[in-house]
Amino acid sequence: MIGKIVKGRSFKGCVSYVLDDKNAQILATEGVLETDTQSIINSFYMQSLLNPNLSKCVGHIPLSFSPDDKQRMTDQFLERIAKEYMQAMGIKNTQYLIVRHSNTNHPHLHIVFNRVDYDGKTISDKNDRYRNEKVCKQLKDKYNLTYGKGKENVNEQKLKGAEQTKYEIYYAIKGILPKAKSWQQFEDALKQKGISIEYKLKGQTDEVQGISFKKGEYSFKGSDVDRKFSYGKLNVQFGENNPVQEQEQMATPKKTGDTFPENIVSGVGDALSAVGSLFDIQPSNQDEDEAEYLRQQALKKKKKPEKRRGIRR
């Protein structure tokens, strides 16, 4: 099972393509008039006017299945999978059209939906390609669907040179990725297996545009090792942090000028921890101007003469 996410501007082009196939079969609809193709197009278009600022209001997702599962792909089963897929992807409270095609050897269907929901809100596409892969895998496992003949079925004993190294990198990343919580942990674990990471930066900036993995004399782009290992997809897993800046922060030496010895600082920290909620020490988020202003205010208070304490009667 493979899902491909497409976003567009024209319901006319998308719906016409999906329904004009001579073997097209509508499995389910929601919120559209099924009188004819034009009625369906008009239904989608009218609802999209609830949010005219959304340029790409057309959602189109073909779902394809292995020919090995063809006998199981009844209309009812395909409809169920399509609806479970939409629910898991957050495609709800909106119009949709589910159409089956039979023009290829592999069973497949098309989901067309309005990215403007019934309340005029946008159906989120944040990380949708990453979520698509995750949901497809969950459904394949749930219904025991056939996986494609990919890296898992390659005979590694027959591989040599660069191809062998690529598969070694693939399996190393696959084993480390579920356990790594940050880019630094990811890099450290790969180094133990003799694999280093190289980042492609944009110009003279720290903005990362790509990633490569190197082992021995061979180096491969992340997407060449596997599409799941592109920089964009890996960065989503690590919370969209900048790995270069993360490295720089880790490498910045601690100041040793007028600071207290490490053992004294450690002792103070332990003492403060023991006090508990009496102290709430947090890093300041104030900018330099505000900090300077607060310092000046503190100096003014120091210069004021202390008031004599009187006895209340």
Does residue 2 sit in helix, strand or coil?
Answer: strand
Give the confidence band of 151 by pLDDT, cuts at 50, 70, 90. Answer: low
Q: Are 174 and 193 in contact (CB under 8 A)?
A: no
Give the confidence band of 195 by pLDDT, cuts at 50, 70, 90. Answer: very high
Q: Which fold has domain 2-142?
A: BirA Bifunctional Protein; domain 2 (3.30.930)
Q: What distance in Å separates the CA atoms of residue 114 and residue 122, rounded to the nearest whole number?
A: 9
pTM for the whole structure: 0.52
Q: Are 61 and 110 in contact (CB under 8 A)?
A: yes
Give the confidence band of 274 by pLDDT, cuts at 50, 70, 90. Answer: very low
How does the average pLDDT of the chain come out, rounded?
A: 82
Task: Give Cβ neighbours of residue 262 (< 8 Å, ≥ 6 apart).
Answer: none
| Weakest-pLDDT range from 12-26, 95-109, 151-165, 234-248 | 151-165
Q: What is the pLDDT of residue 287?
A: 44
Q: What is the pLDDT of residue 185?
A: 92
Q: What distance in Å separates the CA atoms of residue 101 and residue 41, rounded to the nearest whole number?
A: 19
CATH 3.30.930.30 residue ranges for the chain: 2-142
